[in-house]
Structures are given as structure tokens and as C-alpha cells.
Structure 1
Amino acid sequence: MKKYVSTITLMLVWIIGSSFNTLKEGDLTKEDRKYVISYLKQSQKELFSRIKDLSEEQWTFKATDTTWSPAEICEHIFKAESSLISRADAMDTTNWSPRGEDYVQEKVQFVIDFLQNRERKFNAPERLQPESQFSTPKAFLSEFKQKRGETISYVNDVEKPLKGYYKDFGPLGEISGYHWLVFISAHTQRHIKQLDEVLENPDFPI
């Protein structure tokens, strides 16, 4: 009898546990989360390597009156992070329209390629314009590290089916909440390229 009860108990534990681990349509898979987090860490590392040793003069250098300094570029990246997470998280108020995995992955690459093409120029919204928030690279590094950590925690923990909700976003076409998560790192890398343009300017302080 005890053996029978134990067997039933184990079966119930397995069934309950399985129900918690079953992915629903539109849910992020373990691989999705791993990819996004790896990309977030990679883009953060690339950004930090370029600015961690900049002097104050280098940090605030502007090639022209109409271009951004390293400080301004980094502040824009920082401000955009929260805005992009909000876009991803709010997708469950849009259209439920799950797509096949081939479409999802093709759109991932399209988002990355589109953002990294610096030939396309865009004006940042007023709320994402720099306002001299970070006086030194050290100040930025500290706050951005915390914010990027919060983004990674969100990706780890989010339970909304972000791959199932789609909405049209101009030149990118219809994208999901998952694509907005990819957008974050692609956006960072876009502005790393902008940063490289400043660092490679012949008038950049040595």
C-alpha cells in the first residue's frame, strides 16, 4: 500500500512539474533567452571597452556642433534602454499573431542588419536626447551596468508570450516583443559604430 501511495505521489509531482515547464504558444524558449542575454552582454562589453579609459576631454569631444560627443552617445543608449524594454513589455496589448520560427529568426536578422546600417540616419525623439547626465565615463559605466543588469533580469524572468504579439513598426514591418529585446543590443551596436566614428576623427584628443 505504501509503495502504491508513493508511486501515485511521484506521478502527481511529475505531472505538476511538467505543467509548469510546458511552453505555451508565443513563450520565449530557453534558447531565446540565452541568445538575447548573450547579445546584451556582448554589446555591453563592446561599449565599455571603448569608453572606460577616456579622459574628460575625450569624453566630451564633439567633431562638429551638430554631432554627438561620446558622453552624449552613451547617454542616449542609456535612455533608450528603458524605452525599448517598455515597448517589449507592452506588446501584450497589441495583436496576437504568432509566426513560424523561420519568420521569427529572419526578422531577428533583419532588425540587426537594419539598425547596424549607419547610412540610414534618424533623429532621436526629444525624450531620448542627451542632456549632459553623465559627467565622466565612470559615472555612466556604473549606472549603465545596473540598468543592463535589470534588462537581463527581465529577459530571464518575463513570462509574457512575447513572441506571439506583433505590431507594425515603420521600416521594420511587423515585429514582436521578442524582436524588441533583440533591438536593444542592435541599437547599442548601432551607436557603438557612431562612437567609433568620433574616436577615429583626426581631431579627437590624444
Structure 2
Amino acid sequence: MKKVLSIPVFSLLIISVCAQGITDQERKSALSHLKQTSDELTNLVKGLSDEQVNHKQEEDQWSIAECLEHIAISEQNLMGMIQNSIQGDPDPMKRSEIAMDDDKLLGLITSREQKVKTRKEFEPTNSFGDFSGTIKIFKQRRKSTMKFVKSTDLNLRNYYMQFPFGLIDSYQGILFLSGHTKRHTDQIKEIIQSESYPQ
């Protein structure tokens, strides 16, 4: 005979799932990816001249300086979205609505095959002064992101963010943020490898 859980027992199970925080493996993986993408970006742009960081392959394309500013802006805006997502109540029952798994999400955001026009609030506007100032802002914001991941006890899998391509959980939001850095680091590599790039 099939057993049916009573409402109180079912509620306790839900509370138990919600109470479980971020796992050690999730924390370790997210921090590793955040550090890796940060190091790759900052090492790539280290020592570049003003001419190099402001070079554009085409007039309507971003320079290295604009790519980095976009990354720094996105770091803050995406973290704001993640912080907003955890203000509500956790809902493990919503997990069935997640659009894709972690690997597919990272593949989507890091791929350079499909170009996407960013929203206005993510566009670079030369708001951080010179290039060194932008690097400093990015490093500060990435440090803050990593501090959040190190310190949170929440199960970020039970909070959610709506993107144009579907629903993701807030842990995936961290991966999206880090993958976004990788995406535009690869864009910077394309600029450096272009024939017109100043040596």
C-alpha cells in the first residue's frame, strides 16, 4: 500500500531542505571559478598602454577599456540581482522550473558564438576615470563577491533569478557572473589578436 505523507511531515521535510545551506563543494567550486576568471582577466590586461586599451577594431565595437568597464559594472549589477533574489523566502519546490544545469549555463554565457546587445545600465560610459581606476574597481567588486560566497550560509539553490533565457537559481547567478567575466576576457583576447591591434 502506498504511503502518503501527512501535511505536517511534508512541511518538516520542506523546512529541512530549506535549512540546508550552501554545500562545501558548491562554495569551493564557485570561489575557484571566481578567482580563476579574475586572475585571467587581470593578468591579460596588465601592462597595456593607453593606445592598446583604447584601440577599437571597428568604430561600433568596444575597446579593451570599455570591455573591462562593462565587466566591472556587470559585477555590481549582477550581485545586486543576487542580493535581491535572497530577500524572499526559499522555495525548493520551484527547482523543477530551472532552465538548465550549471554546465550548460556556463557554456551559454562563455560562448562567443552568439553576440548579445547589453542593456543600457550595463553599458560602459567611462565612469571610473582611467584604465587603472577601472581595474581597481573591478578588483574591489570581485573581492566583495567572493566575500559573499565565503560567508553566506544560505542554500542559494532555493532562491531564483529570471533571465531572458529562463529561470536560474541564485547559485547559478554566481556562476553566470563569473562566466560573464570569462566571456569578455575572451573578447579582449580577440582584440589583442586582431591585425590592427597596436604593438
- TM-score scaled by length of structure 2: 0.82
Q: How much has 1:133 moved relative to structure 2?
A: 2.9
The CA distance in 2 between the partners of 1:55 and 1:135, in whole Å, is: 15
Structure having the higher Rg: 1
The CA distance in 1 between the partners of 2:20 and 2:117, in whole Å, is: 32
Matches within 5 A, 1:15-34: 24-25=18-19, 27-34=21-28
CA contact (8 A) 1:58 1:204 kept: yes
Indicate how the Cα distance of structure 1 residues 81 and 26 shifts in structure 2: closer, same or farther if over 3 A, else same.
farther
Residues 1:185 and 2:178 are matched in the alignment? yes
Q: How much has 1:153 moved relative to structure 2?
A: 0.6
Match of 2:158 among 147, 164, 174: 164
CA offsets, 1:50-82, max 9 Å, x none? 111110000100111110000000000000001
CA contact (8 A) 2:31 2:149 kept: yes
Match of 1:147 among 138, 141, 153: 141
Aligned Cα root-mean-square deviation (Å) = 2.3
Counting matched residue pairs gives 181
Q: Give 1:121's aligned amino acid.
A: K
State the secondary structure of the residue aligned to 1:175: strand
CA offsets, 1:130-159, max 9 Å, x none? 112345442222221111111111111123
The CA distance in 2 between the partners of 1:88 and 1:145, in whole Å, is: 19
Indicate how the Cα distance of structure 1 residues 25 and 170 shifts in structure 2: closer, same or farther if over 3 A, else same.
farther
Residues 1:194 and 2:165 are matched in the alignment? no
Q: Give 1:192's aligned amino acid.
A: T
Q: Give 2:197's aligned amino acid.
A: F
Q: How much has 1:201 moved relative to structure 2?
A: 1.0
Partner of 1:112: 106
Partner of 2:92: 97
CA offsets, 1:103-134, max 9 Å, x none? 98x61111100011112111111111111234
Matches within 5 A, 1:126-137: 126-137=120-131
Structure 1 unaligned residues grouped into runs of 5+: 1-21
Structure 2 unaligned residues grouped into runs of 5+: 1-15
CA contact (8 A) 1:94 1:166 kept: no
Q: How much has 1:176 moved relative to structure 2?
A: 0.5
